[in-house]
Amino acid sequence: MRPFITKALLGLLVLVGLLVICATVIIGTNFADEELSPAARKMLQVPAPSVPDAANGYFVLLGMTAPEGADPLEAGIKLQATLEREYRENPLRTEYTQVAPISGNASDKERCPLRGEDCVGFYLKNKLALLEWKTSQEVRHSRYMRLMGMKDFEEPPLFSVHMPWPAYVPVVRAAEMNLISAVLAIDAGDAEAGLTTIAAEIKGHRRLLAGSRMLIWKMINVSMLRRDYQVLSDVLEHWPELAQTHAPLLAGILQPLDARESDMRQVMEMENLFAANMFLRLRETSAASEDSTLPGMESSGLSRKAEQLFIQASYMPNATLNAAALYWTRRAEAGSGGAATARARKQELVSYYDAWAADLNRLPWKYLRNPAGKVFLTVAEEPGTFFTYFERVYDLDGYIRLVSLQAALRREKVAKADVAAFVQRAAPTQRNPYNGAAMGWDPAGSSLFFEGWQPATANPDNEKKVHRIKMAMPG
């Protein structure tokens, strides 16, 4: 019995000794952090604002839900200061101060149900209900019109990735209200007023798109513009003569997206800035947080205290940021270039990501050097995740080109038998943005179509990535 106990004790001592050696190696290996690399330092640079607060439409947007009687611009500036302070106190917090919403929340009854349906027909069918809804939205609408009338729109950096959700709702609903007003004006015989309203919506939303630094707000503007152009397309089908009588007005809003409107590099740089600040402060925020801060730790079985000890002992902020900068910088660069080179840029980024991730996970350094940092880096979004956002912007560009082609067909009064030939010789601004090919024409279904990359931005067409405009062609 005694030899067995002796062997057990020796085994235990050996095990404890190995654990002590492993802990010593890990702590020793992670004792001294790295210096920040030039790429990491560049990611942390906060760009100076180019628009004064008093002239920046972003603050009107932020103050859209301020109480009635309040100046939305002043409310937005004050709220931004509060949000910045809260963010700097804890970049990991998930709840921030929000202003109380104004009265008059509407249901979804005013919304055209789905992309691909006839929004103009929906508005005309529900005219009385829509007019009743409009009267309850006067405060909301007046603030939206102030936003749309401001020349400059620039989201402040750093905190812009966490703009409160309530600010989006009145903007989207007020935009729908203006489209309703435009359609009802055209139906009442005032085509000039109706098309001018639609044109103002499109120009305003394209200005907001160009000034967006936040990924979610960029995507919301893409969705609003997709709806704007769908309504314009429906108008041209209900009143095709407008393509001739108002050709100059339409020409001004049917140009493809320019480089600033479609560029995603600035958006990705703001994502990098936010995440980099979070990485730098992870130790202190983890120590102060009651919630898990490591991805997957909620289901790992580790106690919150054990997780905190793991981060404190083996997390190197600078080393983590240096490694992240290698991929994040390339990801931001991939956001520039437009649709024509998108496929090549995506493949190049995928190849780079695979090599970066493989180097990050080399053994034994994966577990010895900065293991907590690698836990964060291994859940970094793969290229395909962010390219879905790039592609939504490019798909919008394709849809604008499709509506431009529709307007040209209506303007020239092209007979159905001649549509295919007309489409083949269409102008470069009316062709597929990805490859320059002609748009599609389906004579059986009498529809123009364009196959994009993202189902989320296309018409509901059996989950396909197809944008389609049905046209009742003469002849």
Determine the average pLDDT of the residues in 426-434.
96
Neighbouring residues of 26: CB distance < 8 A, sequence distance ≥ 6: 313, 314, 367, 368, 371
Q: How confident is the model at residue 113 (pLDDT cuts 50, 70, 90)?
A: low
Residue 467 phi, psi dihedral angles, 5° rounding: -100, 130
Q: What per-residue confidence (pLDDT) applies to 442? A: 93
Q: What is the DSSP letter of 31?
A: S
Determine the average pLDDT of the residues in 162-187.
79
Q: What per-residue confidence (pLDDT) applies to 419? A: 96
CA atoms within 13 A on the CB side of 470: 10
Does residue 38 carry a pLDDT above 80?
yes
Selection from 134, 137, 139 nearest residue 66 by Cα: 139
Q: How confident is the model at residue 439 (pLDDT cuts 50, 70, 90)?
A: very high
Give the whole-angstrom CA distance, residue 434 versus residue 157: 31
Neighbouring residues of 439: CB distance < 8 A, sequence distance ≥ 6: 401, 402, 405, 423, 426, 430, 431, 432, 448, 449, 450
Q: What per-residue confidence (pLDDT) applies to 107? A: 45
Determine the average pLDDT of the residues in 288-295.
56
Does residue 418 carry a pLDDT above 80?
yes
**In the sheet that 440-442 helps form, which strands lie side by side, from edge to edge?**
440-442, 447-451, 466-470
Break the chain into its structural domains and give their ranges: 54-94+105-253, 266-381
Q: What is the DSSP letter of 126?
A: T
Does residue 154 carry a pLDDT above 70?
yes
Q: What per-residue confidence (pLDDT) applies to 27? A: 61
Q: What per-residue confidence (pLDDT) applies to 106? A: 42
The Cα-based distances of 191 to 119, 270, 411 in angstroms read: 17, 42, 16
**b/e burial code for range 289-311 (CB count within 10 A of at least 16 → b):** beebbbeebeeeeeeeeebbebb
Determine the average pLDDT of the residues in 267-288.
79
Determine the average pLDDT of the residues in 346-368.
84
Token pair of 205 as six digits = 């939303």
Name the most confidently modeled range: 9-18, 186-195, 332-341: 186-195
| Paired strand residues for 449 | 440, 468
In this structure, of 88-92, 286-290, 404-408, the range with the lowest mean pLDDT score is 286-290
Average pLDDT across the chain, whole number = 81
Q: Identify whether the C-beta of residue 438 lies closer than 8 Å to the C-beta of residue 432.
A: yes
Determine the average pLDDT of the residues in 433-450.
93
Q: What per-residue confidence (pLDDT) applies to 302? A: 57
Does residue 242 carry a pLDDT above 60?
yes
Cis peptide before 364 (omega within 30 of 0): yes
- Percentages helix, strand, coil for the chain (3-state, rounded to 5) are 65, 5, 35
Q: Which helix (H) or strand (E) holds 450?
A: strand 447-451
Q: What per-residue confidence (pLDDT) applies to 124? A: 83
Selected residue with higher pLDDT from 324 and 381: 324
Q: Identify whether the C-beta of residue 321 lies closer than 8 Å to the C-beta of residue 280.
A: yes
Amino acid, single-letter form, for residue 25: V
pLDDT in tens, 4-20: 666 666 666 666 666 56
Name the most confidently modeled range: 150-159, 210-219, 376-385: 210-219
The Cα-based distances of 429 to 222, 295, 296, 402, 425 in angstroms read: 19, 45, 47, 9, 11
Selected residue with higher pLDDT from 163 and 341: 341
In this structure, of 66-80, 115-129, 406-420, the range with the lowest mean pLDDT score is 115-129
Determine the average pLDDT of the residues in 54-78.
88
